[in-house]
């Protein structure tokens, strides 16, 4: 089941996010801009954290528990996000240049590389990607 994050999810979600040095808390989630979807099947197996910025969406993270990767969970989260916002022109994100599996995932799901952002992650370049909806 895919649903919006709830307060009871913080412990499980933050376990998934710890590898990214990122944490969601009551003050940061589900406000007017920062939102999250979770994929739950007995427990949370994946999360998609994103920002709703008026006419576009920006994905911060899509994280799937290592034991459940390559099972379509990230794709389902992404599809749910796209279907939830009919008035959105595009979705953007940045990804580490070295994260080839994520880059391939996004390319497979209709994103295009726009530009490279030098030292975006301080120690590594980031690749800006975009998916134009309605094309």
Q: Which residues of the chain have pLDDT under 70?
A: 26, 29-31, 134-135
Domain boundaries, the chain: 1-88, 89-135
pLDDT recorded at residue 112: 97
Distance CA 111, CA 132 (A): 8
User: What CATH code would you report for 1-88?
Assistant: 3.40.630.30
φ/ψ of residue 120, rounded to 5: -60, -35
Residue 130, helix vs strand vs coil = strand
pLDDT digits (tens, 9 = 90+) for 16-40: 888 777 777 767 765 677 888 889 8
pLDDT recorded at residue 17: 80
**Do 68 and 76 touch, CB atoms closer than 8 A?**
no
């Amino acid at each position: 089941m895919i649903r919006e994050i709830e307060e009871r999810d913080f412990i499980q979600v933050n376990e998934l996010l710890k590898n990214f040095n990122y944490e969601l808390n009551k003050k940061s989630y589900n406000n007017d801009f920062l939102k999250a979807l979770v994929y739950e099947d007995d427990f949370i197996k994946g999360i998609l954290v994103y920002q709703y910025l008026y006419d576009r969406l920006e994905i911060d993270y899509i994280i799937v528990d290592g034991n459940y990767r390559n099972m379509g969970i990230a794709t389902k989260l992404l599809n749910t996000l796209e279907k939830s916002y009919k008035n959105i022109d595009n979705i953007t994100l940045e990804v580490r240049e070295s994260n080839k599996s994520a880059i391939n995932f996004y390319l497979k799901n209709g994103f295009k590389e726009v530009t490279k952002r030098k030292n975006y992650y301080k120690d590594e370049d980031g690749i800006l990607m975009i998916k134009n909806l309605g094309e």
